Each structure stands twice: as C-alpha cells, then as structure tokens.
C-alpha cells in the first residue's frame, strides 16, 4: 500500500519540507552553499548559513549545466532542468529523529562533466528502508564551471570544494535528519570514485567522514598538474573566444558549454583509451599529488572498500564503431604508446590467453581496464592495508543481459537496488528482476554493513576477507559470490 505525506523538519539551517513515502522521508534539493553565480562563478563555494521560512524540498532540483553523457547509449540518457544554481543535496532517511544512523554520501560519476546525484536513478529510498541508513546524494559543479584552472582567476577544483562544503553542511545538519555526523561514509563511482580518493587526502576534508567506498576509480590516468591545467585553461579561453579570463564571468552558460564542447574535441587518446578534458588539479594546496594522496590517505585512518567491474572499457567501446572492428595489429599498435613493440605484442598475447573470444576489441579492453582502473586500485588497496586500515577489495563480474559485459557503470543500479528507476537503461534491457534483486540485496547489504561498522560481511554472502599482502584475496561478485585471488601478474600499468 502506497502512503505519502508532507512533513516539516527543523534543521540548524532552517525549516524544510520533505515528502514521506512508505516510511522513508525524502528531501530533494536542499542548498548547502550560496549559488555560485555572478562574482561567485569560478570561485570556491561560500557557506550558506541558512534560510528563512520553510524551504520546499519536495521537487526534483536543477542539475549542473552539462551536455549528454558520452556513454548515454549504454547507460541511458536523462532530462533535467539545468542551472548554475545547483549546489544542492538530496536526503533519504528512515526518519528525521536524531537517532544517529550511519550516513552514506554518494558522489556521482560522469567524467567530471555530466551526471547528477539528484537523478531518480540515484534514489536512496531502498537503501534507507532496507538497511537503516541515511543516504545523501550530491549535486556539484561540473565541466569548466567546476574544474577550469586559470591561475589567479579560477580555483580549478571548484567541484571538489563543493563536495567538501556539502560534507561540512552535513556535519552541522545531518543529526536532525536522523544521521550520525561522526559516522559518515563517502562513496562514488567512476569520477565520483576518483573524487572520493581525492577527498581522503584533501586537508579541508579531514574529519568529515569515517570510511570510503571506491567503485571503478580511473586512477591510472596521469594527474592534472597546475602547469598542464594552466595550459589547458588557455586553450579553453581560445575556444570561448575571449582573451581576458574575467570575460568568462559574464559569458552565458550556453556559450561556456559550446566552448566546452569544442575544447573537449581537441583531446585525443591512444586507440582504445579515453581522455578527460576536465579533472581535479593537484595544486598542492587543496589537492595533493597522487603519491602524496597515497601517503596522506594511509595516515588519515580511513577504512576502504575498493574495486572495479570486469570489463570497464566495454561501455566506451559500445559507442565507438571504429574500435569494435580493430585488428590485432591495430590493438598492439595502441599498446605501443606505452611500451616497446615486443612488449606490446607479448602483453596482448598474455591477455588473449584469458579470453575465449579472440576479438581484438575485447582483448584490448581487458588491457585498458587494468591500466586505467584496476592496477592502481589494487596498489591503493595494498597500501591502505599495509598501513593498518581495514580494506576490502572486489571485482564485479555480473554480465549485462543486453550484451555489454560487466561494463563501466553496470554496478551502480545494483548498489541502489532500484531496477524500476533504470527501466530505460540499454545495459539493463532483458534483466530478470529476480536475478537483479538477489544480487543487489547482497551488494547493498555489504555496503550498508560497512557503513554501519566498517565490515561488509553479512549472513547472505560468503566470508569477505580483508586485503592482506600475503593472501591477496578479494570478493568476486556475480550470480555466485565467492572469494578468490587478486591476480597481479598480467595487469598493465599505463599512465597517460
């Protein structure tokens, strides 16, 4: 039976109206910072002390300005009203009752340029209902408005600083929403997972969360240094048609997105790889270099779940007609961007032995899955473990019934356990609902148990061992859940 009501809750920031649906109260679009418009465009977020009257948080909020996802043909496309005034969060709670439940803060993916935490596919209702947690999904600045770096003009890490501002807002307000500010877990997928890794080493984020969940973080990419970011900032100015950065302050959002589109088309990557026109900048102040990130995270006391899907690159290859028909010669040639021809041929053959299919696109995809996503994730897991943190590694092997493999993003619907909200997603077409729910309950339960107590084990899955340099075990998630070895001998390390 469907039951719905509207309720007003008093927060330190002010009164807010939410909507209670079958026992879960949802607050959509609560602002956590001042709108980043006008003189605040390209600047760090400014704290929002509160509001007067009753804030209506019952309608879907506007999302950050953006174009369509580059993998919309696999993931599914979405519509949403867009606005620079997008610094909001959505909360799903069993009750605004000060009961100090664990808080899971979800940071969406989308190559730092697309997506939104407020999309219906990221609804935390099932998570909150089934596992007694408070789920919070963030909206933050994206693309040029979130990550353009121009010295003495644009911060470069505006989107990251937005996330920190949201965590600070939650620190002050989440108890009134039924959450425990001392027990917050940050979680994310793809660029959202990359954001999670960055947050674990950003000084401003120290003490704002207790645990981290990292799904398919593209840690194998070369970091964006201030020098390189400044060069790219000049390129962006050219595409925007301006010479003085201050002219960007008054440029329309439409013209910024147009410049962003032409700027992004100037990026190239080796055949079978992908590029990121926008990403966090390791400026040494708000964000440290990757080597410093590892050192800092090791010292900051953050427990971790980290993993990847089996065929990350399949999502990108599905929308690229050229890559789907490549030859062995072309695949080896792409690997030569990172090693000698002899080494590339040997590596290709090693990956080919693991595949029943001899299609070069699948074999190259395995190599880049390891190089971009998997190898550095394993390294990070081992580093955390060696420094005494509880670390749990996994690989998600569930295959898409629509023929996309265990592709990038395919794990996200299972984490949220909301198949109906993904009904238009091509990668889920043909999915058996019973199979989906069975797998999803096990995954969501593990993530929730980790948020509760730092351990993902529960009665419905086999024992999940912590990462240990001696035993090197991980959980393989499929129609059968089982622990197995972390294979390292064939992983490719490619940084570009």
Q: Provide CB contacts within 8 A for 107, sequence distance 6+.
A: 117, 138, 163, 186, 187, 188, 192, 193, 195, 196
The verdict on residue 228 lying in a domain is: yes
Looking up residue 115, the CATH number of its domain turns out to be 3.40.50.1820
The verdict on residue 360 lying in a domain is: yes
Average pLDDT for residues 266-274, to the nearest whole number?
89
User: Which residues span the domain enclosing 278?
Assistant: 4-485
> In total, how many domains does the chain have?
1
The verdict on residue 494 lying in a domain is: no
Q: Quickly count: other Cβ atoms within 10 Å of residue 242's Cβ.
A: 16
The verdict on residue 493 lying in a domain is: no
Average pLDDT for residues 301-317, to the nearest whole number?
93
Does residue 495 have a pLDDT over 50? no
Query: pTM (2 decimals)?
Result: 0.96
CA distance 443 to 411: 9
Under the banding of pLDDT at 50, 70 and 90, the label for residue 321 is confident
Percentage of the chain modeled with pLDDT above 90: 80
The verdict on residue 20 lying in a domain is: yes
CA distance 324 to 315: 11
Residue whose tokens read 């898409």:
400
Listed range (48-52, 194-198, 244-248, 381-385) with the worst mean pLDDT: 381-385
Contact in structure between 83 and 61 (CB atoms under 8 Å): no
Condensed to tens digits (0 to 9), the pLDDT of residues 74-109 reads 999 888 899 999 999 999 999 999 999 999 999 999
Under the banding of pLDDT at 50, 70 and 90, the label for residue 194 is very high
Contact in structure between 389 and 301 (CB atoms under 8 Å): yes
Contact in structure between 29 and 15 (CB atoms under 8 Å): no
What was the pLDDT predicted at 353? 93
The verdict on residue 305 lying in a domain is: yes
Under the banding of pLDDT at 50, 70 and 90, the label for residue 297 is low
What was the pLDDT predicted at 155? 87
Condensed to tens digits (0 to 9), the pLDDT of residues 401-441 reads 999 999 999 999 999 999 999 999 999 999 999 999 999 99
Under the banding of pLDDT at 50, 70 and 90, the label for residue 496 is very low
The verdict on residue 15 lying in a domain is: yes
Does residue 294 have a pLDDT over 70? no
Average pLDDT for residues 165-172, to the nearest whole number?
98
The verdict on residue 294 lying in a domain is: yes
Under the banding of pLDDT at 50, 70 and 90, the label for residue 493 is low
The residues that are catalytic are 190, 312, 408
Under the banding of pLDDT at 50, 70 and 90, the label for residue 492 is low
């Amino acid at each position: 039976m469907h039951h719905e009501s509207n309720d007003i809750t008093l927060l330190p920031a002010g009164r807010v109206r939410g909507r209670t649906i079958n026992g879960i109260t949802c607050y959509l679009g609560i602002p956590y910072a001042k709108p980043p418009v006008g003189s605040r465009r390209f600047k760090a977020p400014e704290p929002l002390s509160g509001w007067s009257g009753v804030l209506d948080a019952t309608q879907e909020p506007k999302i950050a300005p953006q174009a369509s996802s580059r993998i919309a043909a696999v993931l599914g496309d979405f519509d949403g009203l867009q606005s620079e005034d997008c610094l909001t969060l959505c909360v799903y709670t069993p009750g605004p009752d000060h009961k100090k439940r664990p808080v899971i803060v979800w940071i969406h993916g989308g190559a730092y340029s697309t997506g939104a935490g407020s999309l219906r596919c990221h609804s935390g209702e099932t998570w909150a209902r089934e596992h007694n947690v408070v789920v919070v999904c963030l909206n933050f600045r994206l693309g040029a408005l979130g990550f353009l770096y121009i010295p003495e003009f644009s911060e470069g890490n505006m989107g990251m600083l937005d996330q920190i501002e949201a965590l600070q807002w939650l620190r002050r307000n989440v108890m009134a929403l039924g959450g425990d500010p001392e027990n917050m877990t940050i979680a994310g997928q793809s660029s959202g997972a990359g954001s999670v890794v960055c947050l674990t080493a950003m000084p401003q984020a120290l003490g704002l969360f207790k645990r981290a969940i990292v799904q398919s973080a593209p840690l194998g990419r070369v970091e964006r240094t201030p020098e390189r970011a400044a060069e790219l900032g000049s390129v962006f100015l050219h595409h925007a048609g301006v010479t003085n950065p201050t002219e960007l302050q008054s440029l329309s959002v439409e013209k910024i997105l147009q410049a962003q589109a032409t700027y992004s088309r100037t990026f190239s990557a080796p055949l079978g790889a992908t590029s990121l026109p926008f990403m966090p900048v390791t400026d040494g102040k708000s964000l440290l270099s990757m080597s410093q990130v590892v050192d800092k995270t090791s010292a900051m006391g953050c427990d971790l779940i980290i993993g990847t899907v089996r065929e990350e690159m399949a999502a990108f290859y599905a929308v690229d007609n050229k890559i789907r028909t490549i030859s062995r010669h072309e695949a080896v040639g792409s690997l030569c961007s990172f090693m000698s021809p002899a080494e590339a041929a040997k590596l290709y053959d090693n990956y080919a032995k693991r595949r029943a299919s001899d299609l070069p696109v699948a074999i190259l995809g395995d190599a880049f899955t390891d190089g971009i996503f998997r190898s550095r994730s394993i390294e990070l897991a081992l580093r955390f473990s060696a420094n005494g943190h509880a670390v749990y590694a996994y690989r998600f092997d569930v295959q898409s019934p629509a023929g996309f493999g265990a592709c990038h993003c395919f794990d996200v619907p299972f984490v949220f356990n909301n198949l109906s909200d993904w009904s238009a997603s091509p990668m889920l077409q043909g999915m058996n609902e019973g199979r989906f729910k069975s797998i999803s309950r096990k995954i969501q339960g593990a993530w929730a148990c980790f948020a509760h107590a730092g351990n993902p084990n529960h009665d419905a899955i086999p024992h999940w061992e912590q990462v240990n340099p001696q035993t090197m075990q991980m959980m393989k998630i499929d129609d059968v859940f089982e622990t197995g070895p972390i294979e390292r001998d064939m992983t490719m390390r490619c940084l570009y």
